[in-house]
Amino acid sequence: MNARHGNEPVLRAAALTRRFGGLTAVSGVDLALDLHQIHAVIGTNGAGKSTLINLLSGELAPTAGQLFLHGSDVTGWPQPRLACAGVGRSYQRNNVFAPLSVRENCRLAAQSRAQRAWRLWESAQSCRTARALGDEAMERAGLADCAALPAMALSHGQKRQLEVAMCLATQPVALLLDEPLAGMGAEESARMLSLLRDLREGHAILLVEHDMDAVFAVADRITVMVNGVVIASGEPAAIRTNREVQQAYLGDDEGAGELADVAAGAHPRGTGAGAATGTRKECAA
Cβ neighbour number for residue 22 with a 10 Å cutoff: 5
Query: Average pLDDT over the chain, rounded to whole?
Result: 85
CA distances from 189 to 58, 84, 167, 175, 193 (A): 28, 29, 18, 18, 6
- Cβ atoms 112, 122 nearer than 8 A: no
Predicted local confidence at residue 120, as pLDDT: 52
Single out the residue in 143, 171, 199 at which a domain terminates.
Answer: 171
Three-class SS state of 39: strand
In the chain the first and final C-alpha atoms are separated, in Å, by 38
Residues 213 and 246 in one domain: yes
- Residue range 247-271: mean pLDDT, rounded: 55
My answer on whether 196 and 275 are in the same domain is yes
> Looking at residue 129, what is its pLDDT?
82
Question: Are 15 and 73 part of one and the same domain?
Answer: yes
Nearest to 223 by CA among 28, 61, 93: 28
Assigned domain for 63 exists: yes
Let me know whether 177 and 167 are in one domain. Answer: no
- Cα 70 from Cα 119, distance rounded (Å): 28
Of the three residues 119, 146, 171, the one that is the final residue of a domain is 171
Is the CA virtual torsion 103, 105, 111, 117 positive or negative?
A: positive
16, β-bridge pairs? 29
Domain edge (last residue) among 148, 171, 194: 171
Q: How many residues would you count in the chain?
A: 285
Least confident interval from 41-55, 230-244, 265-279: 265-279
Q: For the chain, give the percent of residues with pLDDT over 70.
A: 80
DSSP-assigned letter for residue 113: T
The C-alpha atoms of residue 80 and residue 274 are separated, in whole angstroms, by: 37
256 in the same domain as 244: yes
224 and 280, same domain (yes or no): yes
Position 75 in a domain: yes
pLDDT at 280 over 60: no
157 with 213, same domain: the answer is: no
- The pTM score is 0.84
Range of the domain at 185: 1-86+173-285
Q: Which residues contact 273 (CB under 8 A, 6 or more apart)?
A: 181, 184, 186, 189, 190, 193, 211, 213, 214, 217
Instruction: Find the CATH number of the domain harbouring 16.
Output: 3.40.50.300
The CB-side HSE value for 278 (13 A sphere, CA atoms) comes to: 24
- 163 and 285 inside one domain: no
How many domains is the chain built from?
Answer: 2
Any residues with CB less than 8 A from the CB of 99 and at least 6 apart, and which?
150, 151, 152
Confidence of residue 246 (pLDDT cuts 50, 70, 90): confident
pLDDT band, very low/low/confident/very high, at 95 (cuts 50, 70, 90): confident
**Both 261 and 136 in a single domain?**
no
Question: What is the per-residue pLDDT across 115-147, written as a single tens digit (0 to 9) for each?
Answer: 544 455 555 555 778 889 999 999 999 999 999
Instruction: Tell me if 91 is assigned to some domain.
Output: no
Residue 252 has what pLDDT? 52
Confidence at residue 128, expressed as pLDDT on a 0 to 100 scale: 79
